[in-house]
Amino acid sequence: MEGILKSRGHEIVKNVDEAQVVIIDTCGFIESAKRESIEEILDFVNYKKKHDLFLCVKGCLVQRYYDQLRSEIPEVDAWYGVLAPSQIADAIEKKEPFLVTQPETVYSDTVRNCKGSFAYVKIADGCNRSCTFCAIPSFKGDFKSRSFQTIEMEVRNLVQNGVKEIILVAQDTTAYGIDLYQKPSLDLLLERLNVMDGQFKIRVLYLHPDHIDEKIIKTILSLEKVVPYFDIPVQHGSDKILKKMGRYRTSRELLDLIEQIRDINPDSAIRTSIIVGFPGETDEDFEELICFLKKARFDRLGAFIYSEEEGTMASLIEEKVPTHVAQERYEEVLLLQSQISYERLERFVGRNLITLIEGRRKNKYIGRSHLDSPEIDGNVFVEKTRKISVPGYYKVHITNVSEYDLEGILL
Ligand code: SF4
């Protein structure tokens, strides 16, 4: 949206005091995200009392709770649901007070205003799956892919602007192409992006554990530009809970999948997400999860406390887990993972890792290797022994390790 607004002659300002229009993008996925979005809106409602500006709120939260929001926060000037960025830009220019239709999750716009070292590129959105804890399909609509050509144009534009890492996202990247090309086509997309000009890498997020297959694994591990990083949100390790979540693979099958990846490339980074406190999760189920995590030894892990979302099947299950129990389980998972993460990272000490150096802090450069997705994983801290151009890829000799990060020197 920034890219589109800029191409139409608008200016993006860093300081809100200079802005005539404020656009708040929201998330309506889980309780904590909804709360954060609403706090942000209320802050700007307060700010607006003393400043003349057009306050516009867009995104998933609006798509999900439009009527309620509009009647409870009338100070907001405009509410826009999940729409293509160009539609939102049109609406803002016309100062339309509301625009909430069927979700428009994918679009052909490719102009970006991204100057950083990495950029997320949406390859599809929406979802046709039915995980019982998840409300996303109800407000994002059906799964829709963007075309190969649109994605290529966007990636070319980003790489020409200096972006070094392209991060492909969708609710479920394994389903890419099912609607447009009648078959899962993530492998074909990766092959096309891999032969594009420029020094950049590609990372794929959100590989659905029930649908990642040998073809995708081998493609990711064989293409030069694609980093060996697998983000596979398994959500649990007890077969009973996996079934209640609407997931098909058993814990044994998930362990086999991890082994299959590590057999081909033992240095692959495998990340997952876990939900604790799902309704009906007993002490035994939680023990099974802990046991599963000890066997799987994920390199990276994000843990979440179950968030009850209205309209989902899981919200109808009566055996709720008390909040304090879920909190204790959450802390136990994080503690276990901090040990596993340290042990997994230790194997890189004394070895060289290609690292994308992205910034400087005092006497260190800060970067990420293939093990690190931005914002959620760790970093590589590098001694500043000489001047280098940033961002850029450099070979780093790893000398030290902490729970989630690595340290090293430039070669
Ligand atoms: S695949 Fe992801 S987005 Fe789709 S229903 Fe499951 S958790 Fe939600």
Write 322-330 long-range contacts (CB < 8 A, 24+). 323/277, 325/277, 326/276, 326/277, 329/276, 329/277, 329/281, 329/286, 330/276, 330/277, 330/303, 330/304, 330/305
Whether residues 312 and 357 share a domain: the answer is no
What residue's CA is closest to ligand 1, atom 6? 131
| 127 CA distance to ligand 1 middle (Å) | 6
Structural domain that includes position 89: 2-99
Atom of ligand 1 at shortest distance to CA of 134? Answer: 8
Domain contains 400: yes
Same domain as 163, residue 179: yes
Q: Is residue 219 part of a domain?
A: yes
If one counts the domains in the chain, the total is 3
**Is 406 within 8 Å of 381 (Cβ atoms)?**
yes
Residue 24 located in a structural domain: yes
- 380: domain CATH number is 2.40.50.140
Do 338 and 260 share a structural domain?
yes
- 136 in contact with ligand 1, CB cutoff 6 A: yes
Choose which residue among 129, 210, 212, 274 to substitute to test ligand 1 binding: the one with the highest number of ligand atoms within 8 A of its C-beta.
129
Residues 143 and 207 in one domain: yes
Final residue belonging to a domain, choices 346, 362, 377? 346
**Where residue 18 sits, what CATH number does that domain have?**
3.40.50.12160
- Whether residues 124 and 47 share a domain: the answer is no
At residue 108, the pLDDT reads: 85
Cβ–ligand 1 distance for 137 under 6 Å, the answer yes
Of 372, 306, 386, the residue nearest 133 (C-alpha): 306
**Rounded to the nearest whole angstrom, what is the distance from the C-alpha of residue 376 to the centroid of ligand 1?**
19
Give domain status of residue 42, yes or no: yes
Q: What is the pLDDT of residue 362?
A: 83
Together in a domain, 331 and 376: no
Asked if 44 and 145 sit in the same domain, the reply is no
Question: Within this chain, do residues 75 and 177 fall inside the same structural domain, yes or no?
Answer: no
Last residue of a domain, one of 324, 346, 368: 346
pLDDT, position 115: 82
Q: Identify the CATH number of the domain in which residue 198 sits.
A: 3.80.30.20
Kindly state whether residues 77 and 138 are assigned to the same domain.
Answer: no
Q: Kindly state whether residues 316 and 397 are assigned to the same domain.
A: no
For the stretch 250-278, what's the b/e string if a residue is b when 16 or more beta carbons lie within 10 angstroms of its beta carbon? ebeebbebbeebeeeeeebbbbbbbbbbb
- 185 with 79, same domain: the answer is no
Residue 6 lies in a domain: yes
Which pLDDT tens digits describe the chain residue by residue (411 residues)? 898 999 999 999 989 999 999 999 999 989 999 999 999 999 999 999 999 999 999 999 999 999 999 999 999 999 999 998 899 999 999 999 988 888 888 888 888 888 899 999 999 999 999 999 999 999 999 999 999 999 999 999 999 999 999 999 999 999 999 999 999 999 999 999 999 999 999 999 999 999 999 999 999 999 999 999 999 999 999 999 999 999 999 999 999 999 999 999 999 999 999 999 999 999 999 999 999 999 999 999 999 999 999 999 999 999 999 999 999 999 999 999 999 999 999 999 999 999 999 999 888 999 999 999 999 999 999 999 899 999 999 999 999 999 999 999 999
Q: Which atom of ligand 1 is nearest to the CA of 208?
A: 1
Judge if 144 and 185 occupy the same domain. Answer: yes
